[in-house]
């Protein structure tokens, strides 16, 4: 005696079909979600460690450059017979402590320094002198590039896991939809047709284009408001919309993590460099000008030593906020390294950038910063060097170098000063 499959299906009530398929789907989703959360937590922790390592390396490089510049200036003053200055042993000790901390962080993050960066810790002073310092800085630069690359790879891996989980959930929902629709299509026409439309929209989701998540959620919301769905489909649709919103928000946070400096919330050096390349090339095509302002906090090490690093971090953030307050929408304020900042100003001539820099210098000079005793507010100032493409430099590397030279001149001239590279050339011509 043969059994008609359709008759057997009819004996299964819609509630039984929903309970069975729903239970299986919930178990799969719970298992997948637990696995995803564990993996996401581990990956996110790994990303944070690598990002922190990368930022610490940049900070260490800034301190090393500052130490080298200070030592060069000291030798110059001693050669002129103006003043005899002995290099501070404290600076060497601070650099060694930072180096030890970075090595521990790199080991914890699974990063290995490039060979030239393996310094002799027993003879640290010798490492920071002459050719040894150049070799050490070479290894440091390569290690920074390596840490940056591994940080990006870890971040990309986190994004891939999020996308994989999205498609896992979608696959479960599609399986649930097909199974329930096959069992209930004769009784729930109102449920089957909307479900098919929803499946079609989800198939259009492109995992390589984050904007498609937003577009998919928007289309689903439009369908939800224009068509009368059953309560089951409405709940599923709203869940998918909520999930798409969460994925979109996480992608935005990951993007911000990748281009922002952790301490100041300014753009990081990588993002600044990308904008510099683009803006210089655009200026070459259209005959525009691009200006660059390099900003350094005067006597910031002394402020840190007096008030502590926590107060120093607060001061860095406050000055970064002041820089942003004086920037236009098109400008790109970034943390260049240590206590040095850079502001890229597209389509800006040397006159305009000088006005902006002077305004910023006055705003910072007038600001008050918390000191160690919190009785009287401390004051900080900045020195600013300016260079403009193409008048002051034919390419982006020269533009950075010339702006940095102008910054050095501003600090040599007494600090709390704005110097343009063009004015340096003018003075040299007059002297000649």
Domain boundary among 151, 168, 187: 187
Report the distance separating Cα 418 and Cα 407, nearest Å. 8
pLDDT (0 to 100) of residue 233: 57
Of residues 37 and 76, the one with the higher pLDDT is 37
Report the distance separating Cα 363 and Cα 357, nearest Å. 10
Does 247 fall in a domain? no
Q: Which of 29-43, 192-206, 328-342, 407-421 has the lowest mean pLDDT?
A: 192-206
H/E element, 335: strand 332-337
Does 305 fall in a domain? yes
Shortest CA distance to 106 belongs to which of 44, 50, 43, 47?
50
Q: How many domains does the chain have?
A: 2
> Residue 83 pLDDT > 60, yes or no?
no
pLDDT (0 to 100) of residue 205: 55
CB 335 within 8 A of CB 269: yes
Half-sphere exposure of 364 (CA within 13 A, CB side): 30
Does 197 fall in a domain? no
Report the distance separating Cα 351 and Cα 423, nearest Å. 12
Of residues 409 and 63, the one with the higher pLDDT is 409
- Partnered with residue 346 across adjacent β-strands are 290
Handedness of CA 24, 25, 26, 27 (dihedral sign): positive
The reply to whether 176 and 273 lie within a common domain is no
| CATH code of the domain in which 302 resides | 3.30.70.270
Of residues 146 and 323, the one with the higher pLDDT is 323
Does 21 fall in a domain? yes
Does 27 fall in a domain? yes
The reply to whether 173 and 273 lie within a common domain is no
Report the distance separating Cα 125 and Cα 86, nearest Å. 14
The reply to whether 177 and 52 lie within a common domain is yes
The reply to whether 183 and 275 lie within a common domain is no
Report the distance separating Cα 216 and Cα 238, nearest Å. 12
| CATH code of the domain in which 28 resides | 1.20.120
The reply to whether 14 and 141 lie within a common domain is yes
Q: Quote the domain boundaries for residue 181.
A: 1-187
Domain boundary among 155, 187, 219: 187
The reply to whether 157 and 15 lie within a common domain is yes
The CA R_g of the chain, rounded to the nearest whole Å, is 30
State both tokens at 194: 């909307």
pLDDT (0 to 100) of residue 358: 95
How confident is residue 84, by pLDDT bands cut at 50, 70 and 90? Answer: very low
> Residue 6 pLDDT > 70, yes or no?
no
Q: Please tell me whether residue 82 adopts helix, strand or coil conformation.
A: coil
Report the distance separating Cα 346 and Cα 71, nearest Å. 35
Does 374 fall in a domain? yes
pLDDT (0 to 100) of residue 432: 47
DSSP per residue, 362-413: HHHHH--B--SSSSS-B---EEEEEEEETTT-SSHHHHHHHHHHHHHHHHHT
> Which residue is it, tokens 């729930």?
188
Q: Which of 198-207, 264-273, 314-323 has the lowest mean pLDDT?
A: 198-207
pLDDT (0 to 100) of residue 218: 61
DSSP per residue, 120-131: -GGGHHHHTSHH
> Residue 140 pLDDT > 70, yes or no?
yes
State both tokens at 386: 């300016």
The reply to whether 179 and 273 lie within a common domain is no
The reply to whether 161 and 279 lie within a common domain is no
Phi, psi (deg, nearest 5) at residue 293: -115, 120
Q: Is 229 left (phi over 0), alpha (psi -120 to 50) or beta?
A: beta
- Partnered with residue 267 across adjacent β-strands are 260, 334
> Which residue is it, tokens 């059953």?
230
> Residue 350 pLDDT > 50, yes or no?
yes
The reply to whether 171 and 273 lie within a common domain is no
Report the distance separating Cα 312 and Cα 318, nearest Å. 10
Average confidence score pLDDT of the chain: 76
pLDDT (0 to 100) of residue 410: 94
Report the distance separating Cα 77 and Cα 84, nearest Å. 7
Phi, psi (deg, nearest 5) at residue 346: -70, 150
Percent of the chain with pLDDT over 70: 66
CB 51 within 8 A of CB 158: no
The reply to whether 176 and 282 lie within a common domain is no
Q: Which of 3-17, 107-121, 331-345, 412-426 has the lowest mean pLDDT?
A: 3-17
CB 341 within 8 A of CB 295: yes
How confident is residue 195, by pLDDT bands cut at 50, 70 and 90? Answer: low
> Residue 269 pLDDT > 60, yes or no?
yes
Does 55 fall in a domain? yes
Phi, psi (deg, nearest 5) at residue 113: -70, 150
Report the distance separating Cα 284 and Cα 282, nearest Å. 5
Does 235 fall in a domain? no
CA torsion angle 392 395 401 402 (round to 10): 0
211-226 helix and 189-203 helix, angle to the nearest 10 degrees: 160
> What is the rounded average pLDDT of the residues 415-426?
88
The reply to whether 181 and 273 lie within a common domain is no
What is the 3-state secondary structure of 339-361? CEEEEEEECCCHHHHHHHHHHHH
Domain boundary among 161, 187, 213: 187
Q: Which of 109-118, 134-143, 251-260, 349-358 has the lowest mean pLDDT?
A: 251-260
The reply to whether 29 and 169 lie within a common domain is yes
Shortest CA distance to 410 belongs to which of 387, 384, 392, 381?
384
Angstrom CA distances, 411 to 333, 344, 408, stand at: 21, 20, 5
């Amino acid at each position: 005696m043969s059994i008609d499959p359709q008759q057997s299906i009819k004996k299964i009530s819609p509630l039984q079909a929903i309970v069975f398929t729903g239970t299986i789907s919930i178990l799969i989703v719970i298992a997948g979600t637990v696995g995803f959360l564990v993996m996401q937590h581990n990956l996110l922790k790994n990303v944070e460690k690598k990002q922190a390592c990368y930022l610490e390396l940049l900070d260490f490089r800034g301190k090393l450059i500052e130490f080298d510049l200070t030592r060069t200036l000291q030798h110059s003053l001693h050669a002129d017979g103006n003043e005899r200055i002995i290099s501070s042993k404290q600076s060497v000790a601070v650099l060694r402590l930072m180096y030890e901390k970075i090595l521990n962080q790199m080991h914890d993050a699974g990063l290995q320094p490039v060979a030239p960066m393996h310094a002799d810790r027993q003879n640290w002073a010798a490492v920071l002198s002459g050719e040894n310092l150049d070799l050490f800085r070479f290894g440091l630069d390569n290690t920074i590039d390596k840490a940056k690359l591994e940080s990006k790879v870890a971040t990309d891996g986190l994004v891939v896991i999020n996308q994989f989980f999205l498609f896992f959930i979608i696959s479960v929902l599609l399986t649930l939809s097909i199974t329930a629709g096959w069992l209930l299509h004769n009784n729930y026409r109102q449920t089957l047709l909307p479900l098919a439309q929803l499946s079609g929209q989800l198939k259009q989701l492109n995992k390589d284009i984050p904007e498609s998540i937003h577009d998919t959620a928007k289309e689903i919301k439009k369908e939800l408001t224009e068509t009368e769905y059953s309560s089951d489909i409405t709940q599923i649709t709203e869940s998918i919309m909520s999930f798409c919103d969460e994925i979109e928000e996480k992608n935005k946070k990951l993007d911000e993590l990748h281009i922002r400096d952790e301490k100041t919330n300014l753009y990081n050096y990588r993002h600044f460099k990308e904008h510099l390349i683009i803006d210089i090339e655009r200026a070459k095509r259209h005959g525009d000008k691009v200006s660059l302002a390099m900003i350094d906090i005067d006597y910031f090490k002394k402020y840190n030593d007096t008030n502590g690093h926590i107060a120093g971090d607060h001061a860095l953030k406050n000055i970064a906020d002041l820089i942003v307050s004086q920037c236009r929408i098109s400008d790109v304020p970034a943390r260049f390294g240590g206590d040095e900042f850079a502001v890229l100003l597209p389509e800006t001539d040397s006159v305009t950038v000088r006005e902006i820099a002077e305004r910023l210098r006055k705003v910072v000079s007038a600001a008050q910063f918390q000191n160690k005793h919190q009785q009287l507010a401390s004051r900080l100032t900045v020195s600013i060097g300016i260079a403009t493409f193409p008048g002051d430099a034919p390419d982006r590397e020269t533009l950075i170098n010339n702006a940095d030279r102008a910054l050095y001149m501003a600090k040599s001239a007494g600090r709390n000063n704005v110097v343009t590279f063009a004015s340096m050339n003018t003075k040299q011509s007059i002297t000649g």
